[in-house]
A and B are shown apart, each in its own frame.
Chain A
């Protein structure tokens, strides 16, 4: 994600727009602050807007689904390790047509936690953020500061298993090794049941049920969600009593218990699917450690089914074809 990779990315995009790609989903800098946002570019005139830095945070997979629906041509997309895993998983689930996508894979050293960055700098004074090796260079209106990436990194990236994309059409940046590390989850597991309950109730009390976690998640693509079904039960032909009794698993009661219900319900749908991009936790305005829920589930799935969401067969389909596993002791 250094300057050189950005240069190559721009060249690649120019080339692709000349050839068969209709639009490309890239990162650009916001006007009033260094935060980067996803943008669709359609013409070579827009290439100079493209950015690529440790602030290129958001996962483009959901935007890709949306663009594929609204366009007919081929779509290019810039994807980091986790992003490309999400795209791959969505291909497996039949949500993305592989033929219509050109994935520009970016080998990723980890992303900056924007909330950490803005406790150190006034966002409006930051001119540019780049990476050189393991050092983040922050150019402000006054000076340039060098900060080790470790000090600013998004916690989720510390547990990244696939920094380099596995699924791509072209790859930029040097290949990096990931590792599987559940040390943070093991810490939680050491707590007593009561401690753990209190910990989660304390965290989930903060939830305002804005559904940012759900809407940011590439795997929460259902058009009907159990917490606010919009079409499920209503049609012009629905009789009144049916309308009155349309399924509502959860109302709008916001309290620790109901929030817990919502989050567990959401997370359980990601068993064997979550790719660990961390969009849920990044989106949460209330700083709830949502990744810990997903990671606990991931650990369980690996322990019980030996499954890591990367193969060509979706998890649920795999459950049918897995040879019967011997019950491990203690389960």
Chain B
């Protein structure tokens, strides 16, 4: 355990109460709400809208740091920059996998060249996580070295102990927030309960992935396996758009003589993504595009950033219209190679 992390107990529903407090202080509060058959992050103005009875939200919270559409400049005879969005905000109730994913987006947008649009939002965002006491059937964070009670990427992590909340305060930003509340010391009993909940959550995670596959991937780029796994794939962008770590975007102009230059999420699963202006397309075939998704997450980002870009949230599995399954594909590759 990181000894910088401070633990404490809050009597009551911390996520709800912190939302109320931050709204009073003028923060934009982003929290999970129920919408139809699923849960989704929304900016709320009333803490009663928060719904915490979920395994995970349909979309991750990445769009609140890196929106699907984002204006960059306005143009007509002159160019006008769009003001950076630096309003104070809090993302509340985010799951550990999605918070970890934000640290991976940080690698992309803040290391080396700093993306000013992302940076302005990120700097002004407080992240208050919500530990998973129960994991879903599509979850596999624990086989990626994460825990359902992981604190990485958060300012505060809240674990629901039933009648009270166990808080872990990770950063100074988190400390400041905690200063607004009455908290108690953690008893041995609380510590034990928290530990037990974490252990149970890890144990109940049935899905596993073999992620340390660098060499296997390097050696099997041209394997027929990739054509086989792509048979079902319909080539849509669901997996990439729902993925909390996918960060690709395209820049477009809307308006001929005057208008707006904006960036928009793009997907390596679309043929236009790699189309070169010579009309050559290095990933013309669907199977090449699907293969790229696995290589990008488990090889290219490992080579360029030293990190696997998958956090095990399972959205690409549960929402794939064709049943493509990242765990089956990766585990299957290992099996294929060893046969």
Contacts and interface: CB of A to CB of B under 8 A. Distances in A.
Contact of B254 (A31, A236, A253): A253
Contact of B237 (A210, A230, A231, A236): A210
Interface string A197-241: 000000000101111101110000000000010110011101000
Given A33-B137, A254-B69, A39 B252 contact: no
Contacts of B295: none
Given A33-B137, A216-B234, A254-B68, A124 B207 contact: yes
A161 to B, nearest CB: 23
A37 B252 contact: no
Given A283-B321, A285-B319, A252 B241 contact: no
Contact of A210 (B231, B241, B250, B277): B241
A279 B42 CA distance: 28
A228 B272 CA distance: 7
A39 B232 CA distance: 7
A70 B254 CA distance: 39
A328 interface: no
The residue among A123, A235, A238, A282 with the most chain B CB atoms within 10 A of its own CB is A123
Nearest to B233: A215
A166 interface: no
B236 A255 contact: no
Contact of B322 (A37, A124, A230, A236): A37
B41 to A, nearest CB: 13
The residue among A206, A252, A285 with the most chain B CB atoms within 10 A of its own CB is A285
A38 B238 CA distance: 19
A264 interface: no
A72 to B, nearest CB: 17
Contacts of B36: 287
Interface string A152-173: 0000000000000000000000
A40 interface: yes
A211 B328 contact: no
A273 interface: no
B323 A211 contact: no
B34 interface: no
Nearest to A37: B323
Contact of A236 (B35, B271, B278): B278
A62 interface: yes
A118 interface: yes
A283 B234 contact: yes
B223 interface: no
A75 B241 CA distance: 34
Contacts of B37: 115, 287
Contacts of A254: 68-69, 264
Given A243-B277, A252-B250, A230 B232 contact: no
Interface string A249-268: 00111110000000000000
A68 B298 CA distance: 33
Contacts of A118: 137
A175 interface: no
A261 to B, nearest CB: 13
B234 A230 contact: no
Given A253-B262, A286-B58, A35 B231 contact: no
Contacts, number: 115
Contacts of B238: 208, 210, 212, 283, 285
Interface residues of A, number: 47
Given A254-B68, A287-B38, A37 B232 contact: yes
B65 to A, nearest CB: 16
Given A30-B323, A230-B275, A285-B319, A124 B58 contact: no
Nearest to B263: A252
A31 B234 contact: no
B319 A234 contact: no
Nearest to A58: B322
Interface in B294-331: 319, 321-323, 325, 327-328
Contact of B281 (A37, A230, A287): A230
Contacts of A286: 58
B233 to A, nearest CB: 9
Contacts of B117: none
B279 A231 contact: yes
Contacts of A35: 323
B275 A285 contact: no
Contacts of B206: 124
B236 A252 contact: no
B313 to A, nearest CB: 14
A285 B238 CA distance: 7
B325 A38 contact: no
A179 interface: no
Interface in A20-62: 30-33, 35-40, 58, 62
Contact of B271 (A31, A40, A230, A255): A230
A270 interface: no
A63 interface: yes
A254 B59 CA distance: 15
Contacts of B58: 285-286
- 6 closest residue pairs by CB, A with B: A283-B321, A252-B264, A212-B236, A37-B323, A285-B319, A210-B237
Given A215-B321, A216-B236, A243-B277, 19 more contacts: A30-B328, A31-B328, A33-B137, A39-B232, A58-B322, A124-B207, A208-B68, A209-B237, A211-B236, A212-B321, A214-B236, A216-B234, A228-B271, A252-B252, A252-B265, A252-B266, A255-B69, A279-B321, A285-B242
13 contacts: A62-B234, A124-B137, A208-B68, A210-B238, A211-B237, A212-B234, A214-B236, A215-B321, A230-B281, A234-B277, A243-B277, A252-B265, A283-B234
Interface of A: 30-33, 35-40, 58, 62-63, 115, 118, 122-124, 206, 208-212, 214-216, 228, 230-231, 234-236, 238, 243, 251-255, 279, 282-287
